[in-house]
Structure 1
Amino acid sequence: MMNPRYSTRAILRLYQSATVREVRSFNTRVAASPYATRRQQHFTRSILLVAGVGSLATTLQWLIDDKIFEEVHAEEPVTPAEIKFEPARKKPSSKEENRDIISSQHLQVKKSWENPGIYAWGSNSGRVVAPESSESFIKTPRRLSFFDGLLLRDLKLDRKFGAAITDKGDLMQWGTEFSPECKRPVVTLKGKNLESLAVSRDRIIALSKDGKTYSVPVSQSEQEEGPKPLEETWIPFWKSRSSISYRRLQPKGLGWGEKVSNIAGGLEHVLLLTSKGRLFSAASGSEDFPNKGQLGIPGLTWTTRPQGPYDMCHEISTLRGFNIKHISAGDYHSLAADSEGRVFSFGDNSHGQLGLDFNPDFAIIDVPSLIPIQNLYAGTDQVPRVTGIAAGGKNSYFTVDATKIAGREDDTASTRSLGKVTADTWSCGQGIWGSLGNGRWTHVQGIPTKIPALSGLFEYDERTKKSVPIRLSRISVGATHASAVMGNVTSVHASERGTENDINWGADILFFGNNEFYQLGTGKRNNVSHPTYIQPLDFQAERQAREREEHRFQLTPRKKVNINGRSVSMEQRVECGRGVTAVYSGV
């Protein structure tokens, strides 16, 4: 064992504190000690061991580095990627071909003129959107081949039946509710010069150009088996039986030259607006009499109705003198707007669809009530005026022009904005499916809520050289979804006299709400609470012209064009029904 006098710790302390002479003396004593030889041998072995380990590590490191070096230098040098340039596009042979390439909107407008007809999508449980197909859903727009090349005056769709008015004024029907065996549209009511339609749960209300209103059963068997009224013929004082059963809805007490000019209907009722601004209502179904106040007649029920036909017309006397200009109807509620921009609502308010606060004790309001639209702009120095209304299912929509006026604290600089008009869109009712369009999923919305995507929009008009508000030209409302057609600046005047970059473009259209049956046309099934665009109807034509580029669908505005050798004024229109949607060529 090592002498404690010369332990490692003692040696270290000595070296740290001793002088040079003392260290040399200590080394001499250690060398002369009996343990010196042994310590020297141990030290020599340690040196050799360390040297051996170092040599081995150096050798291994050399071998590893050499291997890596060999591997690195054994690889082929990386070849630079070849730069590929996009092949030059085919040079257009004409101005029109160049327009098709550079503009999706121009191509869509052109195709709508060349191939008028109907595109439909959504639920096909009643063989309405695809009569010859057994598919349950049509996920994206598909053409109804029967209507290729045809123009329509109006179109209304339900999941179980469809109804359309041809450009000659005849009624066409199809769907399983019309006939389980029917696989193509059939002309039913002829020679009445029909102009517009409204549909209830089991009947079709048709308005002719001369103001006559017809109530036609949806079922083909009822049309054949029901009572058929006498009709005037071309022979004086001679009448004959109609080919199908129908009823006439005739408001009483119309003035000289006054006639029914517009109709709108729900599941059980119909509104009839006259050319003098008077409003009538009537039952429009065969199964249930309206009992939710949607007729606008206080206390009117099945038991209290006056003597006469169950579907007799009743004048809404509360609105007499207001000069009603617009009407619309949901499933069980009604809207009416007058020439001054005031809106009245009546009927079912269980989800706030009347634009009034929901009260469980008064869920039904059978008297037309004024909606306080001005409260929506309290404190904004804007004066609102309703320009349009729409209703469907359990929802209502209002388009408003809000005009800037001088406020109390406005200075001279702010007077530049006086008279500025902002166009807004408001909604109320049931929003659990996203049909409020405001990005929220609300069960009951009594106070109207603004739709941000459709409000406060402006664009620059090249013709007037000023910024103009973008209004909505139309809102089509189904049972749980809706579409909004923007009133943006459009152009349909491109011709050979213009440049190759002079193009046509149409109106933007957005969809929102329930998508259970793929009725929004997005190709997906998720509900949408924000208004959204969809792909063009004729997507194959888009791919051929622009390969993989994506564009949005636009509606073609009204234009006089040549169709099948005759000049007609036509436009594209959208129709949202109960779980189905269609776009058709209208005259």
Structure 2
Amino acid sequence: MLATRCLSRGTTHARNAPRLSRTIATRSRPQTARVAAHPYAQRRQQHFVRSVAAVTALWATATAWQYLHGERIFREVHAEEPPKEEEPKIKFEAARRAATSIDDNRNLISSQHLQVVKSWENPGVYAWGSNSGRVVAPESDDVYVKSPQRIPFFDGKLLRDIKLERNFAAAIDERGDLLQWGTAFSNDARQPTHTLRGMNLVSLAVSRDRIVALSRSGAVYSIPVSQEEQQSGPKPVSTSWVPFWGASNNISYRTRTPENLAYNEKVTRISSGLEHALMLTSTGRVYSFASGSQDYPRKGQLGIPGLSWGTRPEGAFDMPHEITTLKGFPVSKIATGDFHSLVSDSAGRAFGFGDNSQGQLGFEYNPEATYIDAPSLLPTQRLYSGTAQQASVTNVFAGGNTSFLTIEAQKPNAAPGAIDRVTVDTWSFGFGLTGQLGTGRWIHAQSTPVKVPAFSGLFEYDENTSSVIPIRLAYLSIGANHAAAVMNNVASVVVSGKSRRLTENDTNWGRDILFWGNNEFYQIGTGKRNNVSTPTYLQPLDQAAEAERAASVTGNFVKQKMEREMHRFQITPKTKVKVNGRNVELEQRVECGRGVTAVYSAV
């Protein structure tokens, strides 16, 4: 009865207790009747009943304890409401700090304005890519420079030109003197060193082992890359206006100015591949010569049919030769790849000669004739067949085994001011396995020119003329297997300290610049190593100034947001500004070399 009362107070288990009690009672009655005849069996029956009662009592006690303690805890734990999730706090953008001046306000509201101002305040050279030849970081032994980094030697300095290869580099300073550095120049040199002085140089081209330099007067010089050869080679005697007075220059070099130039004709442009160079004169004539000393050009890139080491005329092996096939075609632009050449004339025609093993001349590959040794007309009009547009080549570019053309096409009878009156396109052809064609595709050899979408058919609205105008290319810089393009989009550099009729919200902005191609040595500047087949933007070169701007504009939350957003690098166009207390005409320029890239302040 005690067990029965305890069970009746239990929970779920207690509902089964009466059934168990009745079952025990039913079994006990017949067994009790048999006990009178068997005393031993009666004792066993009593022992069994006591055991069952004890087990039942223990089970009932345990059930009651669970009810009083365990179930109560169970109810308490599970009866609680789940904790309420806190609603996310709304983060408001922190207020921008108050500008301290009009110029400070412009810096705060525009990253592009800040880039332009910094390029004026801190002129110099940014370089990145392969540093195996100590070119992009002369004082460092790092193998790579993964993102744009300043060369301290050039801080505050302006240059006329710069050219870079993997193992050597050369530059012309503001005075027109030549600077050289890199392991191919000298293993001991840890910073740029002056070599050829007093020639008033204006532009450079480099071959495998020599530097070709053009002076303002039109003189062309060929200088060995190696400092040892400069010191040990023959040194020409310089002339002087003083009678019977001559002096020996301190380095070895050769003058390669053509001898049969007309009166007032001079060389205005130079370009060099690994073994050959082209010279363009002010009258549109083109000369070529061997620009390297290791191998004589043997792939037709000189543009002289039949010219080879065995058939060359008497005299110096690197004497200039006029490309007479181009007479009657006044040439306006020249370009050279490693072993091929491109030229375009004032009538909008393009010619190619040299190596065509990758289709870099724009002609179908012929295994029986892998090069063309005479200038051949490119069929550019065929690219616009069926459009009723007349095509005119405006510029040519080349580097490595890749070539580019810029073409303007228009309908002869288009209405003045119509948007489709002029279409500006860029075409590429040649080797493109590492993305240097810029078309978004990876092609071993592209012999037919293909349009580069990123630089073709672009238009913008010009507020000055209140009209839609095509966006042209300012220029391309083509390295051995990567490239950069500077767009000629509408820029603004009116805010230069003495501007008038400007509001505090008027800002400067530069020209768009994009990079693509091989990135084995981080020469694209993205900080990564993957090749890029589609032209892409970079972050601003001066990341410290950009971070400082982000910190001053807003609080931490918005600062992190701004750091995630990519402000693109824009290159500063030419304008007159004050640098180091004097007025100069300054711009930023880009130069792609063999696995290296540089952006410098140019005059």
TM-score (ref. length: structure 2):
0.84
Q: Which 5+ residue runs of structure 1 have no aligned equivalent?
A: 1-55, 408-413
Q: 1:572 aligns with which of 580, 583, 588?
A: 588
5 Å matches for 1:22-171? 67=74, 70-73=77-80, 75-171=82-178
Which of the numbers 210, 213, 220 marks the counterpart of 1:213?
A: 220
**Residue identity in the other structure for 1:202:** D
Q: Is contact 1:429–1:446 with CA below 8 Å preserved after alignment?
A: yes
For residue 183 of structure 2, what is the aligned residue in structure 1?
A: 176
Task: Within 5 Å, give how 1:310-389 maps onto structure 2.
Answer: 310-389=317-396
Q: Deviations over 1:128-151 (max 9, x none)?
A: 000001100000000000000110
User: Which letter maps to 1:492?
Assistant: V
8 Å Cα contact 1:381-1:406 kept in structure 2: no
Which of 239, 246, 258 in structure 2 is aligned with 1:239? 246
Please give the alpha-carbon distance, in whole angstroms, between the structure 1 residues aligned to 2:483 and 2:515.
6
Change (3 A) 1:466 1:66: farther
What is the match of residue 486 of structure 2?
485
Shift of 1:236: 3.1
Task: Note closer, same or farther for the CA distance 1:550–1:419 as it changes in structure 2 (3 Å cut).
Answer: closer
CA distance in 2, matches of 1:156, 1:467: 36
Give 2:37's aligned residue: none
Amino acid at match of 2:517: G
SS of the aligned residue for 1:473 comes to strand
Structure 2 counterpart of 1:498: 502
Note if 1:550 corresponds to 2:554: no
Query: Deviations 1:176-231 (Å, cap 9, x if unpaired)?
Result: 00000000000000000001101000000000010111000000000000000000
Contact 1:404 1:417 in 2 (8 A): no
Q: Which amino acid aligns with 2:462?
A: D
SS at match of 2:80: helix
1:450 maps onto 2:451 in alignment: yes
Match of 1:259 among 266, 269, 284: 266
Q: Give how far 1:336 is off.
A: 0.7
Kindly tell me: are residues 258 and 78 of structure 1, through their superposed partners in 2, closer, same or farther at Cα, counting changes over 3 Å? Answer: closer
Cα distance change on mapping 1:81 and 1:253 into 2, 3 Å: closer
Partner of residue 539, structure 1: 543
Residue type at the aligned position of 1:466: S
Query: Which aligned pairs between 1:260-339 and structure 2 lie closer than 5 A?
Result: 260-339=267-346
Amino acid at match of 1:105: Q
Q: Deviations over 1:326-362 (max 9, x none)?
A: 0010000001110011000000000000011111111
Could you say what secondary structure the match of 2:491 adopts? coil
Please tell me whether the aligned partners of residues 514 and 527 of structure 1 are also in contact (alpha carbons under 8 angstroms).
Answer: yes
Hey, what's the Cα distance between the residues in 2 that align with 1:388 and 1:515?
26
The residue identity in structure 2 corresponding to 1:504 is: N
CA distance in 2, matches of 1:538, 1:325: 36
Change (3 A) 1:77 1:256: closer
- Corresponding position: 1:509 with 2:509: no
Deviation at residue 80 of structure 1 after TM alignment? 3.7
Q: CA deviation at 1:553?
A: 0.4
Taking the aligned partners of 2:417 and 2:186, their CA distance within structure 1 comes to 63
Match among 520, 523, 529 for residue 525 of structure 1? 529
State the match for 1:53 in structure 2.
none
CA contact (8 A) 2:419 2:469 kept: no
Partner of 1:39: none
- Aligned residues with identical type, % of pairs: 59
**Conserved 8 A contact 1:405-1:419:** no
Q: State the distance in 2 between where 1:226 and 1:583 align.
A: 33
Measured in 2, the distance between the counterparts of 1:508 and 1:203 equals: 33
Return the letter of the residue paired with 1:274: T
| Contact 1:406–1:418 (Cα < 8 Å) also in 2 | no
Give me the TM-score of the superposition, normalised by structure 1. 0.86
- The change in CA–CA distance for 1:79 and 1:440 in structure 2 (over 3 A counts) is closer
Question: Which residue number corresponds to residue 470 of structure 2?
Answer: 469
CA distance in 1, matches of 2:294, 2:88: 74
C-alpha distance in structure 2 between counterparts of 1:289 and 1:227, whole Å: 21
- C-alpha separation in 2, matches of 1:156 and 1:555: 18
Instruction: Quote how far apart the aligned CAs of 1:85 are.
Output: 2.5
1:358–1:446 CA contact under 8 A, matched in 2:
yes
- Separation in structure 2 between the aligned mates of residue 80 and residue 508 of structure 1, nearest angstrom: 44
Task: Pick closer, same or farther for the CA change 1:470–1:416 going to 2, 3 Å.
Answer: closer
Q: Which amino acid counterpart does residue 572 of structure 2 have in structure 1?
A: T
Q: Distance in 2 between matches of 1:489 and 1:384?
A: 24
1:583 counterpart letter in structure 2: V
Could you tell me which of 195, 202, 221 is aligned with 1:195? 202
Q: What letter corresponds to residue 386 of structure 1 in structure 2?
A: V
Instruction: Tell me, in whole angstroms, the C-alpha distance in 2 between the residues paired with 1:244 and 1:73.
Output: 92
AA aligned to 1:179 is: S
SS of the residue 1:122 aligns to? strand
Letter in 1 for 2:507: I
**Deviation of residue 406 (structure 1)?**
5.2
SS of corresponding position for 2:407: strand
Name the CA shift for 1:550/1:226 in 2 (closer, same or farther; >3 Å).
same
AA aligned to 2:360 is Q
Q: Report how many aligned residue pairs link the two structures.
A: 522
Give per-residue Cα distances to partners, 1:490-525, cap 9 Å, x unaligned: 000024742121000000000010000000000000
Contact 2:419 2:468 in 1 (8 A): no
Letter in 1 for 2:389: Q
- Measure the CA separation in 1 of the matches of 2:370 and 2:516: 27
For residues 483 and 459 of structure 1, the distance between their equivalents in structure 2, rounded to whole angstroms, comes to: 21
Determine the structure 1 residue equivalent to 2:599: 583
- Secondary structure of the residue aligned to 1:206 is strand
> What's the CA shift for 1:99?
1.1
Q: How much does 1:76 deviate?
A: 4.8
For residues 101 and 327 of structure 2, what CA distance do their matches in structure 1 show?
A: 60
Q: What's the offset of the Cα at 1:277?
A: 0.6
**5+ long unaligned stretches in structure 2:** 1-62, 551-558
Q: How far is the alpha carbon of 1:64 from its aligned partner?
A: 9.2
Taking the aligned partners of 1:193 and 1:80, their CA distance within structure 2 comes to: 71
User: Distance between the aligned counterparts of 1:345 and 1:154, measured in 2?
Assistant: 26
Relative to structure 1, the CA distance from residue 81 to residue 527 in structure 2 (aligned partners, 3 Å threshold; closer, same or farther) is closer
Matched residue type, 2:518: N
SS at match of 1:434: coil
- Report the counterpart of residue 233 of structure 2 in structure 1: 226
- Alpha-carbon contact 1:122-1:581 (below 8 Å) kept: yes
Deviation of residue 250 (structure 1)?
2.6
Q: Against the structure 1 CA distance between its residues 68 and 508, is the aligned structure 2 distance closer, same or farther, given a 3 Å change threshold?
A: farther
Kept in 1: contact 2:404–2:429 (CA 8 A)? yes
Q: How has the CA–CA distance of structure 1 residues 210 and 428 changed in structure 2, closer, same or farther, with 3 Å as cutoff?
A: same
Identify the residue that residue 29 of structure 2 maps to in structure 1.
none
- Alignment RMSD (CA, Å): 2.0
Q: CA deviation at 1:321?
A: 1.5
Any conservation in 1 of the 2:124–2:156 contact (CA below 8 Å)? Answer: yes
The alpha carbon displacement at 1:388 in A equals: 1.1
Tell whether the 8 Å contact from 2:493 to 2:575 is kept in structure 1 after alignment. Answer: yes
